[in-house]
Amino acid sequence: MAFSKLSLLVLLSSWSTIVLAKAGAHKRIRDLIKSNSPLLQYPTQFTQDLVPKRIHSHNDYWREVPLLTVLSYGVGSVEADVWLFGGAGDLLIGHDPESLTADRTFGSLYVQPLLEILKPQNPGYDLYKGSPPTGIFDTSSGASLNLLVYVKTDGASALPVILKALKPLRDAGYLTTYYSNGTLVRSAITVIGTGNSPLDLVRALDPRDYFFDGPLANLSRGDIFKPTLSPIASTGYAVAVGWNGLGTIPDNQLTKLRKLIDDAHALGVQARFWDTPGWPVSARNNVWMVLLENGADWLNADDVEAASEF
């Protein structure tokens, strides 16, 4: 009798301890949330739930908030159209001259926001020099964000100004870099020039932290397109393949598509097709599916929300 009373007492008291502890924990959680406690400010929370996707954000600057909108969908590649203007060497962002404003620059829309995201991701980075910094995406910290720079004005004059604008990211160690001794150091951001980016000048960079979007339809040209110069290569889908996404892709077009992708992969280069059909939505999705099934590395998308749910 005495024994079971005792064990009942022990049981009751441990149960009440648990209940009290649980109530205490709930109160503590409520207090922390109410006070917006610094204990809840996870340093890399900017992208904590995002899984990076192999989507390329075409004409990113058209979005209400450039860069950040697409990062919020986990997009792994963004494209900025850059125009060099004026003696001061302003790099303005936009699709055509009418859309440019003095406030919207390569620095203000891309370089500074990327720095602001990456700094908290790498609080102790200086202590760990030697290992790569944490990238944009917390769920895949080794993934590098592709920043495609589409040069709209003369390439030879724009390149040095773009390289200078990238200095804060370079100085922080956030740019993927190739050294002529054969070492490729991957980092949080891989900058890839396209549009009028001058191939010969990009090839001559040493070290190189500005790469070149290779010609996917002509990769064997000159035996120079290797991943250390061209991590990706691109071509216009409509011309290179052409299937409109309705019905089933004809064999000859499928063969063309596979050859372009396989030739790139044989060199270690990733394949991207731009100018894929956008409408009807079912045709757009059919083309995306055929591209993915056959190994294309990036989906080029204007509607990144649709692509991220694809």
Ligand X SMILES: *[C@@H]1O[C@H](CO)[C@@H](O)[C@H](O)[C@H]1NC(C)=O
Number of residues that bind ligand X (CB under 6 A): 7
The distance of closest approach from Cβ of residue 203 to ligand X in the complex, given in angstroms and rounded to an integer, is 15
The distance of closest approach from Cβ of residue 53 to ligand X in the complex, given in angstroms and rounded to an integer, is 29
AA letter at 310: F
Please name the helix (run of DSSP H) or strand (run of DSSP E) that holds residue 93, with its range, or none: strand 90-93
Which of 217, 267 has the CB closer to ligand X? 217
The distance of closest approach from Cβ of residue 267 to ligand X in the complex, given in angstroms and rounded to an integer, is 15
The distance of closest approach from Cβ of residue 217 to ligand X in the complex, given in angstroms and rounded to an integer, is 4
The site map against ligand X for 141-180 (x = CB under 6 A) is: --------------------------------------x-
Q: Among 7, 13, 16, 183, indicate the residue that binds ligand X (CB under 6 A).
A: 183
Q: Is 35 in the site for ligand X (CB under 6 A)?
A: no
Beta-carbon contacts of 98 under 8 Å, excluding residues fewer than 6 positions away, are none
CA distance linking residue 238 with residue 260, whole number of Å: 13
Q: Judge contact between 97 and 81, C-beta under 8 A.
A: no
Show the tokens assigned to 12: 């009751």
Which of 45, 218 has the CB closer to ligand X? 218
- Contact positions with ligand X (CB under 6 A) in 199-228: 215, 217-218, 221
CA distance linking residue 157 with residue 91, whole number of Å: 11
> DSSP 3-state helix, strand, coil percentages of the chain (rounded to 5)?
45, 20, 35
Which of 68, 201 has the CB closer to ligand X? 201
The distance of closest approach from Cβ of residue 241 to ligand X in the complex, given in angstroms and rounded to an integer, is 13
Beta-carbon contacts of 20 under 8 Å, excluding residues fewer than 6 positions away, are none
Show the tokens assigned to 96: 């055509």
Helix, strand or coil, per DSSP, at residue 70: helix
The distance of closest approach from Cβ of residue 131 to ligand X in the complex, given in angstroms and rounded to an integer, is 13
Which of 190, 235 has the CB closer to ligand X? 235
Q: Which residues of the shown chain bind ligand X in the complex (CB under 6 A)?
A: 179, 181, 183, 215, 217-218, 221
